[in-house]
């Protein structure tokens, strides 16, 4: 997501709608699961100089009933846009929380609770939220995996293998070497897949004759 596009969208969009969207996203990303601790929370995109305030209640996250300075919030969550965008990968999210790139300030119990939840978010849940965010801004979703530099370690879900396999097939008539590289990665991740195995053998045979 481009920084300028996002900033422009946030400038146009009413703050109340933004806050509702943030609360909705938190309810999906950080379900209560029986937790009853109530918190006032401020989320900040520090490089865009934008912030949103929500309240965590026994019924979930809601928009804040009144504006408070950051110093009066129970928890303040700070990050830059590049960090947030990188966190569409659950491993990078965990690394950002552990390194402090996502900074949590405020009461100890509140910080620990939110940090624990962030560290346990699944890749599948993140993918769903990212897709919904793109829809919210009426933008075309961008794939989490960069096909030009993908490695086996980038694969986290079965659909990641499907994506790499399909991208390889798209390239088989224009860049067979790259198609083979991708299909071999898919084969490593799914060695029992008959279609992928057949394609790897097919690509290797054709390249051997060139």
Query: Residue 78's pLDDT is what?
Result: 98
Q: Pull the structure tokens for residue 193.
A: 């897949």
Q: Pull the structure tokens for residue 7.
A: 């900033």
- CA-CA distance, 59 to 166, in Å (whole number)? 42
Contacts of 109 (CB under 8 A, 6+ apart): 37
Using alpha carbons, select from 63, 66, 56, 65 the residue that is nearest to residue 30.
56
Query: Residue 181's pLDDT is what?
Result: 98
Residue with tokens 């029992």: 192
Contacts of 4 (CB under 8 A, 6+ apart): none
Do the Cβ atoms of 179 and 168 come closer than 8 Å? Answer: yes
pLDDT tens digits, 139-189: 888 889 999 999 999 999 999 999 999 999 999 999 999 999 999 999 999
Q: Pull the structure tokens for residue 190.
A: 């799914």
Query: Residue 5's pLDDT is what?
Result: 82
Domains in the chain, start-ordered, CATH in brackets? 3-136 (3.30.1050), 152-209 (no CATH)
Query: Residue 210's pLDDT is what?
Result: 85
The neighbouring-strand residues paired with 44 are: 51, 78
Can you tell me the mean pLDDT for 78-92? 94
Do the Cβ atoms of 107 and 126 come closer than 8 Å? Answer: no
Can you tell me the mean pLDDT for 97-115? 95
pLDDT tens digits, 25-65: 999 999 886 677 899 999 999 999 999 999 999 889 999 98
Using alpha carbons, select from 87, 186, 162 the residue that is nearest to residue 127.
87
Using alpha carbons, select from 61, 58, 99 the residue that is nearest to residue 80.
99
Strands 39-45 and 75-79: parallel
pTM: 0.82
Is the pLDDT at 113 greater than 70? The verdict is: yes
Is the pLDDT at 192 greater than 90? The verdict is: yes
- CA-CA distance, 142 to 92, in Å (whole number)? 17
Query: Residue 102's pLDDT is what?
Result: 98
Taking CA atoms, 51 is separated from 120, 187, 189, in Å, by 24, 44, 41
- CA-CA distance, 51 to 22, in Å (whole number)? 10
- CA-CA distance, 66 to 196, in Å (whole number)? 56
């Amino acid at each position: 997501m481009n920084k300028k596009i996002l900033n422009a969208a946030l400038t146009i969009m009413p703050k109340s709608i933004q806050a509702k969207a943030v609360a909705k996203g938190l309810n999906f990303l950080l379900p209560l699961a029986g937790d009853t601790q109530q918190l006032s929370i401020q989320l900040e995109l520090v490089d865009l100089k934008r912030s949103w305030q929500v309240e965590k209640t026994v019924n979930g996250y809601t928009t804040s009933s009144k504006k408070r300075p950051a110093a009066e919030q129970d928890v303040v969550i700070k990050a830059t846009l590049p960090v947030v965008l990188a966190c569409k990968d659950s491993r990078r999210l965990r690394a950002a929380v552990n390194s402090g790139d996502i900074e949590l300030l405020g009461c100890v119990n509140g910080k620990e609770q939110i940090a624990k939840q962030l560290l346990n978010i699944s890749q599948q849940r993140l993918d769903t939220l990212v897709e919904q965010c793109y829809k919210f801004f009426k933008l075309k979703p961008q794939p989490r995996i960069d096909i030009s530099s993908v490695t086996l370690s980038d694969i986290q879900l079965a659909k990641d293998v499907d994506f790499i396999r399909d991208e390889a097939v798209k390239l088989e008539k224009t860049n067979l070497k790259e198609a083979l590289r991708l299909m071999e990665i898919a084969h490593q991740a799914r060695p029992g897949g008959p279609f992928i195995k057949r394609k790897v053998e097919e690509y290797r045979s054709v390249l051997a004759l060139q």
